[in-house]
Amino acid sequence: MENEVQIKLFFLIGTLAMVFLALGIILMSVIYKSRVDRLNRKKSESLLNASLNSEKRERQRIASDLHDGLSGDLSAVKNFIALLNNKEEDYSKKEILQEVSTVLTHALSNVQNISYNLMPPLLESYGLVPTLKSYFDRIKKSNNITIKQHYFSDVIEIPSSEAYEIYRIVQELTTNMIKHGNSQQISISITLDQNTLLFEITDDGISFDFNEKLQSSLGMGLKNISSRIKHIDAKLIQQPISIGNKFQIILNSDNYVKSSNNR
């Protein structure tokens, strides 16, 4: 009888030991997986930051090359054509020179627009709001579209890296609204609530589900938006509306400053 009790006790202790061993192995596996996932997230964030920073530097380089190089060359050629046109007396040749000058004017304008879109020069010098106003002025000139803007201040002092990403997100969203959504009206507003900046972009075009399109899209536009949102630790929320689309970008910081003279 005593032997049976000892045997049962032995099996009980053995079973408990095996259970604790199994739980220990599971716990170690969970901790290991958590650490691996954390390292992978840090690696992904590092790669994302490096990729976006590299893209910004490359955009700056190409924009500078276009503005200082090709744009200057086209302007010089246009001036030479103007000189030849003034000296030419043959009417048929003057017509040809005038046509060449017109083509050069269009080419110069296209190069300047490309350079501006790659890296808007106002962003570093004047900040986000003047850059957005300039961008939407260009949009209105090249598209038959109404754009409504509201900014709580003309001066929003945020780090230039965050201002750049916000500008690119707004650019991607509005380009998508115009190109794919056939929007006729776009509204943008920036408001400040304590230390939270709220960017709101609304259009009256074709509705779409951002997250659904993000998963199925082969293009880079929506993926770039998602990457930039993560890069600046912001939130992108799509609010349901009856017509069109409404997006909110929420950016938190303790360092935002508004100018009391521009409320």
Which domain-ending residue is among 61, 96, 117? 117
pLDDT confidence of residue 170: 93
The total domain count for the chain is 2
Domain shared by 182 and 248, yes or no: yes
State how far the Cα of 75 lies from the Cα of 70, in Å rounded to an integer.
9
pLDDT, greater one: 96 or 239: 239
Mean local confidence (pLDDT), 182-191: 94
State how far the Cα of 220 lies from the Cα of 210, in Å rounded to an integer.
13
Which domain-ending residue is among 99, 117, 135? 117
pLDDT confidence of residue 10: 61
Domain shared by 6 and 79, yes or no: yes
Computed over every residue of the chain, the mean pLDDT equals 77
138-164, pLDDT tens digit by residue? 888 878 899 999 999 888 888 888 888
Q: How far apart are the first and last CA of the chain?
A: 91
Domain shared by 252 and 132, yes or no: yes
In this structure, the chain runs to a length of 263
pLDDT confidence of residue 69: 64
Q: Which domain holds residue 58?
A: 2-117
Domain shared by 207 and 220, yes or no: yes
